[in-house]
Chain A
Amino acid sequence: MNPLDFFPIKFLNPWALGFLLLVPILILLYFLKLKRPQVWIASTLLWQKVIEDMRVNSPFQRLKRSLLLLLQLLLLLLLIFALARPWLKSLSEKEESLIVVIDTSASMQAREPDGRTRLEHAKEAVESLIDGMSYRNEMALLAFDSRSRSLCPFTANQKRLRKALNQIVASDGLTDPANAFRKAKSLGASRGNPRLLLFSDGSFADPGKVEMPVEFHLVGTPLSNVAITGMDVRRSLTDPKQVELFAAVHNFSETTVNSTMSIYLDNELLDSKALALEPETSTSDVFTADIPGGGVLRVEIDLEDSLPLDNQASLIVPDPQPKKVLLVGNNTYYLEKALASAPDINITSCAMADYPEHADGSFSTVIWSNVEAPAVAAGNNIYLGCVPTAFDVKVDGLIKAPDIADWDNTHPLTRFIDFSNLLIADTFDLSMPKDADVVLSSSKTPIIAVFQRDGRYIVVSGFNVFKSSWPFQVSFVLFLHNCLNYFDAQQNLAGNVNVRVGNVLTAPEQKSTPVVRGPQGTREEMVHMPGGGYTYNGVDRCGVYTIEKLTDAVDRRFAANLLSQSESQLETVSNPISEVGKNTVTTAAAKINREYFRTLLMVALIILFVEWLVYHRRILA
């Protein structure tokens, strides 16, 4: 058993008590009478009388002489014990542990009628709390938007709290306090009587039951606002050089708002349109523009309102990339001919046996033509007359001379195609996955279907094309072109180049660390993940982010937007949390572990000053 366990005072650094060995050394040095200078005098007759008188008249003379020694010993002991960091469980009826959680989401940037933002109001309220803290109180600071972060652990140091508070800046992110509440609960678990104070405008979805009492401080007042709440862009299916832009605007005010919506491509005005926004209604529109290459599309509403950041949104239009298509099969000549007329296409053919040499994932689409046991390529896969064993496609026999019962002439794959004259010798009796779109079917079985797996498209055609009339029909060419265009339109534009604030950007594994340039010009290196690849977790502002220094020397751009009705509504909710927990700790005085090394150090400083005074008084005397 540790002998120190018997003492009521515990020590965080008990090893420091080893320095107590210095105490006898100090005493020894003091009384060893280090070399005194000798002074020859005529006679010690009078001096001996003096000393005798002093001894008689002043019984504490020895003590006075040893005063310096006593002070030095006391100083040494104080320093040793301070180094040992003693702590004691101390009681206090008034001790409070405050966990202050501050909303820093996009809605907190709304400017109130007094010209200050909601976040500034919240910070002012928290600063008043800090100013009113007594020395027995402690406070921890958390901030949240769609994520939460700890700004300051529990401390009674008001200066430190103010510094952490001043460093809070609003983000353009959504509001999700759940993680913040979990963090607060974890913080409060180490305290007897914690209080959670939430400073927010309340514009978040009910997080459900919060496992501790929450004192909600409403910040802000209901405000009017107009915002871009939706935006999307895609290349035209019929003309890849054309881009279709969809934008939705919502008027959250009670009055009609007249404004102008402007569209810019790389900061050059493309189009503008007058808006007349009815109260509490949404207006959407579609714009078409010729954008053969890539660029940044930005939509702006020309309006001054309470929250300017949602009056504009940006989207990335990637450069159309040449489509690399691999044809796998023994007889792909007809496929090459059919695809040759498609623009920006790069065709490679190989036999099944040679496929492994081409399985490098560089092909956007692989077309399997009547091969046995086709594999699944990394990109999109079109199976003609063969069925992959993966996925959920089952073959239950062969159906001879299937009829053409129906086709979906609205689906992008089969739009403008007439299958009525298609003659098929036989087709697999297929069972398709439930999420598959059947674009051509007979009365007995789906013939052609399409579905998505892991971001790629899988098209399965159950019949041998060579045992049909299809290769001789225009619809065959059209079908293949539709497939490629559809894949391109969906993946190049709907991919992860347009993100929400709070999303994570990723980059593949490479030798050098990529750098992300933010919309405000900041540059940060991405973080290398243990499993390979890089991530960036700093998308907290609306705007364009660019990943630089990638291996292929091509910068990747991403656009982050708010596009949130709940965030832009700027309503304040006075009771956003329906269910809060109760403290199970009794209201008896809380006990915490309190360290005393600071007190010891302060006393040591005072002793040092007194010792200096005594020493100098002796010398000067």
Chain B
Amino acid sequence: MAEPLLTSEMMVRLEQLQVVSRRMATGRMRGERRSRRRGFSTDFADYRNYVSGDDTRYLDWKIYARLERLYLKLFLEEEDLQVFILLDTSPSMDHGQPNKLHYAKQVAAALGYLCLCNMDSVSCQCFGETLLDKWGPKRGKPMASGFFDFLEGVSTGEQTSLTTSMKIFSQMNRGKGIVILLSDFYDFDGYEEALRYLFGRNFEVFALHILSPDEMEPDLKGDVRLVDKEFQVTTDISVGRNLLKLYERTLNTFCHGLRDYILARGGYYLLCSTELPFDRLVLDVLCRRGLLR
């Protein structure tokens, strides 16, 4: 019997956390999130001039006493957060020790669970060459088990096309919210256009760049033939010190390029190795980085 994605201890700890959104997202339903919209709640937000027809219960009599003018108090309205978890299920994710796809599922389960506990709207969308299976949107803790079942049933899909997948996603989801993108970003067409679709829709993008230890520090020697899991492309290399250094440099360039692209557009980027236990990632790293609190 496969191990569950989340342990009960982990779930208990996750219930204490919530995703931090830099922008307060507006949703259609009243949720537990502070919204930028001013409404009627207990949290004072601002003043405005009284106009005929306003509710006189919110007149600030102290200001009237001072200024002999009528002002209305404004309050912040708490609204729900839409969280879209985009899970890359291309063949390149099914690699590594620990496996990147399994790792991504665990991260997705953790983040999805705590969002569900916080009454956020959570949906999980798998993608490969295009959008694949979807779960949600749903809210509430009782939905968690269904979410876990969905994640456990996710398997490797087709080849990656970030651009196509993001384009379709952004077309289908016009509402605002947080997009948690779990992927290795291996796409021969690049990631720029795909991310532009997301940023163009004003999503708050959290990109978790997941790589396995052997991708970060390849343990290769001599003359080998590399075979691409996605496209079955072969590349013959003669591994030497210089080649490995060049790979390291190329990887850094790739990761930094992705990070800089995302950060420049107000997104959030984290490079994580599957070597780091996912619970530490969620409970420690993400909290320290401010994604969770």
Give residues in A with beta carbon < 8 Å to B. Answer: 33, 36-51, 53-54, 65, 618-619, 621
Contacts and interface: CB of A to CB of B under 8 A. Distances in A.
Contact of B223 (A36, A45, A47, A53): A36
Given A47-B235, A49-B250, A65-B238, A42 B215 contact: yes
Contacts of B221: 619
10 contacts: A36-B223, A36-B225, A39-B227, A41-B227, A42-B100, A42-B212, A43-B186, A46-B251, A47-B247, A621-B242
Contacts of A50: 243, 246-247, 250
Contact of B226 (A41, A49, A65): A41
Nearest to A49: B250
B222 interface: yes
A46 B92 contact: no
A53 B251 CA distance: 13
B158 interface: no
A40 B229 contact: yes
B46 interface: no
A50 B240 CA distance: 12
Contact of B224 (A38, A42, A43, A49): A38
Contacts of A619: 221-222
B184 A42 contact: yes
B235 A48 contact: yes
Contacts of A51: 235, 237
A58 B231 CA distance: 28
A49 B220 CA distance: 17
Interface string B228-259: 11110111111011110011001100100000
Contacts of B238: 65, 618
Given A36-B223, A36-B224, A51-B237, A41 B215 contact: yes
- Most chain B CB within 10 A, of A37, A39, A40, is at A39
A618 B212 CA distance: 26
A43 B243 contact: no
Given A39-B226, A41-B228, A46 B235 contact: no
Q: How large is the interface on B (under 10, 10 to 19, 20 to 34, 35 or more residues)?
A: 35 or more
B95 interface: yes
The 6 A-B residue pairs whose C-beta atoms are closest, nearest first, are A621-B241, A43-B186, A42-B95, A42-B92, A44-B228, A36-B225
B96 interface: yes
Interface of B: 92-93, 95-96, 100, 184, 186-188, 212, 214-215, 218, 220-231, 233-238, 240-243, 246-247, 250-251, 254
Given A42-B93, A47-B247, A54-B242, 18 more contacts: A36-B224, A36-B225, A36-B236, A38-B226, A39-B225, A41-B226, A42-B96, A42-B228, A43-B92, A43-B184, A43-B228, A44-B226, A45-B186, A50-B246, A51-B235, A618-B238, A618-B240, A621-B241
B251 A39 contact: no
Contacts of B92: 42-43
A50 B95 CA distance: 20
A50 B188 CA distance: 14
A36 B226 CA distance: 10
Contacts of A47: 226, 235, 237, 247
B225 A43 contact: no
A49 B250 CA distance: 7
Contacts of B214: 41
Contacts of B186: 42-43, 45
B247 A46 contact: yes
Given A44-B226, A46-B247, A50-B246, A39 B220 contact: yes
Contact of A53 (B188, B227, B233, B246): B246
A415 B287 CA distance: 147
Contacts of A49: 250, 254
Contacts of B218: 41
A489 to B, nearest CB: 97
B236 A53 contact: no
B44 to A, nearest CB: 53
A45 B184 CA distance: 11
Contacts of A40: 95, 227, 229
A43 B230 contact: yes
A38 B93 CA distance: 19
B55 to A, nearest CB: 60
A45 B218 CA distance: 14
Nearest to B241: A621
Contacts of A43: 92, 184, 186, 228-230
Contact of A45 (B93, B188, B212, B240): B188
A54 B236 CA distance: 13
Contacts of B226: 38-39, 41, 44, 47
A41 B246 contact: no
B90 to A, nearest CB: 9
- Most chain A CB within 10 A, of B92, B215, B234, B250, is at B250
B218 to A, nearest CB: 8
Given A50-B247, A621-B240, A41 B229 contact: yes
Nearest to B211: A42
B228 to A, nearest CB: 4
A36 to B, nearest CB: 4
Contacts of A45: 186-188
A47 B186 CA distance: 12
Contacts of B225: 36-39
Nearest to B91: A42
